[in-house]
Copies of this chain bind each other. A is one copy, B any other.
């Protein structure tokens, strides 16, 4: 890619103008990742329209829509019968998922963290890696986490999702040398300050090599982890 590439093409080939939004339809070529619709703040009609546009341009690969309201999920189901709705992740996909290379283990502390973990797992899958879910292994019930070790020890990347005190990444990070992405969630109340407590805890993890994404950003963790897993070689 050179500057010519950056600036010289006609804009119409890289974006689609829907009136209310200009959609980037060139992302896969630049970064290897599929198109994604961030549904928060968009109407159900807008979500359907963007999904349709992106799918029409690239029917051969999946488009992902996240943070969909119940209303948007209903309308997608009604208008786009080929779409797949993930009610827990509050997300939808349209088009065939790519062949998976590599595996990401998505480990979640509690039941309330499930929507973020599900969004992460779906993003991993849409971005080309396999996702393996390990749920309800909070640090206050250590036996369940220890029992699950075999299920994440051989993964290519870990995503660890936790709210409240956000301790799980430190414990998992001490048990394994697999690259670990921590996702703080807004689960909690009072001095959790909307997930700030978990975020700060994860940034200060005593386990070396823990990296962190924004609060509730399962999608971002999934994108990153899929990139790592896709590139991973045969096992060490």
Contacts and interface: CB of A to CB of B under 8 A. Distances in A.
Interface of A: 1-9, 11, 14-15, 20-22, 24, 30-33, 36, 40-41, 109-112, 135-136, 138-144, 146-147, 149, 153, 156-157, 164-167, 170-171, 173-181, 184, 186, 188-217, 219-221, 223-224, 227-228, 230-234, 236
Contacts of A24: 141
Contacts of A191: 195-196, 199-200, 203-204, 214-215
B211 A140 contact: no
A174 to B, nearest CB: 3
B147 A111 contact: no
Contact of A190 (B109, B170, B175, B214): B214
A177 B34 CA distance: 11
Given A205-B165, A206-B165, A4 B6 contact: no
A190 B216 contact: yes
Nearest to A207: B140
Contacts of A164: 204-206
20 contacts: A6-B142, A7-B146, A15-B144, A32-B177, A40-B189, A139-B167, A139-B170, A165-B205, A184-B190, A190-B215, A190-B216, A190-B217, A197-B197, A197-B200, A197-B203, A197-B204, A230-B236, A231-B231, A231-B236, A233-B234
